Homo-oligomer: A and B are copies of this chain.
């Protein structure tokens, strides 16, 4: 269970956008502590996150928003100040390694002043999104988007694969085309470079088949000429 907690959000566009992001990245619950803007006005920014916003739990108390949660992650654009252990932060790409529980809350503070030290101290971790040192302060909903994106990515680890057959075919055509153009044995690096670049650069099976078709056509084009 992943819960997003907004503490005293001030802009209705941010609240709406956060609800939309919750839908985009499959967040289970949205809690809002003492909203400082009109939730009904937020709906027009929520797109297909509208039902998440309508079902959001509005609470008066910060602690109520953290009930039934095992790992609490606060966020801040001020972090890693020397000597300030409370503000020792984790980076977004480290989130998967600290999400060792099923019940997690990601907590975001006010647009104007963020979370208080007391609010941060009630969390287990502080998340910091690195950016321009001269202006690291992201808008609230954009910080939410980046954090949720990293978590979603970790949960879904998408790795398109090329089949062994396609790898063999790429190798085969790189090799026979190479045989047609080699002038000395040192030219072997041409074959190696092409084969490696293709295997590394091709995204998935469909793209592999398309490139193989290109190479096969080149090969038959040359064979055909040789026979004339």
Q: Which of A180-198 contact B (CB under 8 A)?
A: 180-181, 189-191, 193-194, 196-198
Contact A152 B135 (CB under 8 A): no
Residues on B with beta carbons closer than 8 Å to the beta carbon of A146: 145-146, 149
- Which of B83, B139, B178, B214 is A214 in contact with, Cβ under 8 Å? B178
A13, CB-defined interface residue at 8 Å:
yes
Contact A137 B24 (CB under 8 A): yes
Contact A142 B21 (CB under 8 A): yes
A153, CB-defined interface residue at 8 Å:
yes
Q: Digit string of A118-162 for contact with B (CB within 8 Å is 1, else 0)? A: 000000000001111001111101100110010011001010000
Q: Please judge, given known A-B contacts A152-B130, A221-B222, whether A135 and B198 are in contact too, CB under 8 Å.
A: no
Of A31-39, A57-65, A67-75, A87-95, the stretch lying at the interface with chain B is A87-95
Contact A210 B132 (CB under 8 A): no
A26, CB-defined interface residue at 8 Å:
yes
A78, CB-defined interface residue at 8 Å:
no
Residue of B with least CB distance to A191? B214
Query: What's the interface size class on A, roughly?
Result: 35 or more
Residues on B with beta carbons closer than 8 Å to the beta carbon of A113: none
Contact B82 A47 (CB under 8 A): no
Residues on B with beta carbons closer than 8 Å to the beta carbon of A222: 218, 221-222, 225
Q: How far is the CA of A91 from the CA of B137 in the complex (A)?
A: 25
Contact A206 B83 (CB under 8 A): yes
A17, CB-defined interface residue at 8 Å:
yes
Interface-centre pick from A135, A191, A197, A207 (highest chain B CB count, 10 A): A197
A177, CB-defined interface residue at 8 Å:
yes
30 A-B pairs within 8 Å (CB atoms) are namely A20-B138, A20-B142, A21-B138, A21-B142, A24-B131, A24-B132, A47-B139, A85-B206, A85-B210, A88-B203, A88-B206, A90-B203, A91-B158, A93-B153, A130-B158, A138-B145, A142-B142, A149-B149, A180-B221, A181-B217, A190-B217, A191-B214, A193-B214, A194-B210, A197-B203, A198-B198, A198-B201, A200-B201, A225-B225, A225-B228
